[in-house]
Amino acid sequence: MKRCVWIAAVFGCLLVCAAPKAHGTRIKDVARFMGVRPNALVGYGLVIGLNGTGDNNKTQFTTSTLANFLDRMGVHVDPDTVKVKNVAAVMVTAKLPPFARIGTKLDVQVSSIGDAKSLEGGTLLMTTLQGPDGQVYAVAQGPVSTGGFSASGASGSSVQKNHPTVGFISQGAVVEQEFPVQLDGLDRLDLVLNTPDFTTADQAARKINLALGGHYAKAVDGTTIQVDVPPSYRSDIVGLMSQVEALDISPDTPAKVIINERTGTIVLGENVRISPVAVAHGNLTVQISEQPAVSQPLPFSQGRTVVTPQSSVQVQEGKGTINVVGGGATIGEVIKGLNAIGATPRDIITILQAIKAAGALHAELEII
């Protein structure tokens, strides 16, 4: 018996040790360092090799671009005489991640800007990608993958899957110029929250100070946290950023109820509370039906046959009950109470709006 108890105790200790530890949310998942962000790139190019699904001959910018490209290759043609259907003008977009080095490959998206029917099977010619400052940071080229198709018959019927006029090139661009991000020599870092909140900012600053062992961080507003670089990290800024990003916090969120009336979707936040309130729920149904009736005149009379409608009106009122929701009810209790009275999502939307109008719903009600 003692042996069984000892085995059970050991097994219980193993379960406790193996149980996962509860963690909060990492700072890196709710905030970012100012200046460390991706940059948008855009370029204009041509997709060739299409099977008659390119831009129409009336699309002048496509033929002009093709003529200019051939001219640079040593082939001189008149743009007015260029008539092809296997070329499409496209816009190429990509994101340049922070700290990307020369030679880094990027994914690019190719989108038709003319009247091309499909980019399936096409190849993007060498296209320069520029940043907001107008400088070239990458060059894209390669076969386009659309992930869809489009086919049509002579009778006008057609079949289409996804969007064949938008394509994707995996690792289709190569970085030719780096976007400068200087970290060496910094004496302060600015941490920016993705969702502004004073409570979360103050909590993050306290956690950073606790981890660094001094008063180095302070929340200047609901979005920005200033972190002074400790002397021991002056030559290791990346190590400081890594340590700060790995800290766990519990982000605070405002009480909010999101309602989508088109789909009947309701999303309630964790901090939603309701004061004591009585809710009556019932249905009123009015049904009106009409049936034609034929009225025949008496024999040998001067009357005539007429059709007169006969209307029937029925009113049914569902049984309504008054339910009291206690003060300080949590989100789980609110859902449980609304389900108990048999409310559908549409009914819940109306009930929540009425509770908000009564001042008993302590949350922001947002209708999208």
Residues 319-357: tens digit of each pLDDT: 555 555 555 566 667 667 667 766 777 777 787 788 788
DSSP 1: -
Using the Cα atoms of residue 220, residue 222, residue 226 and residue 227 in order, give the sign of their dihedral.
positive
Pairing of strands 256-260, 364-367: parallel
Residues 47-84: tens digit of each pLDDT: 999 988 888 878 888 888 888 888 888 888 887 788 88
Greater confidence (45 vs 290) lies with 45
Mean predicted confidence (pLDDT) in 207-227: 93
For residue 4, what are the CA distances in angstroms to 7, 11, 145, 181, 224?
5, 10, 64, 63, 58
Q: How far apart are CA 30 and CA 249, in angstroms?
A: 9
pLDDT range class, residue 19, cuts 50, 70, 90: very low
* Structure-token pair, residue 214: 């001094």
In this predicted structure, the answer to whether residue 8 has a pLDDT above a threshold of 50 is: no
Which of 199, 157, 365 is closest to 269 using CA atoms? 365
Which of 41, 56, 64 is closest to 88 using CA atoms? 56
Mean predicted confidence (pLDDT) in 104-133: 93
pLDDT at site 147: 74
The domain spans of the chain are: 39-150+158-175, 188-249, 257-291+310-367
Place of tokens 């990307």: 100
Q: What percent of the chain has pLDDT over 90?
A: 36
Q: Are 33 and 237 in contact (CB under 8 A)?
A: no
Greater confidence (214 vs 274) lies with 214
pLDDT range class, residue 300, cuts 50, 70, 90: low
Q: Are 69 and 141 in contact (CB under 8 A)?
A: no
Residue 52's CB is within 10 A of a number of other CB atoms, namely 9
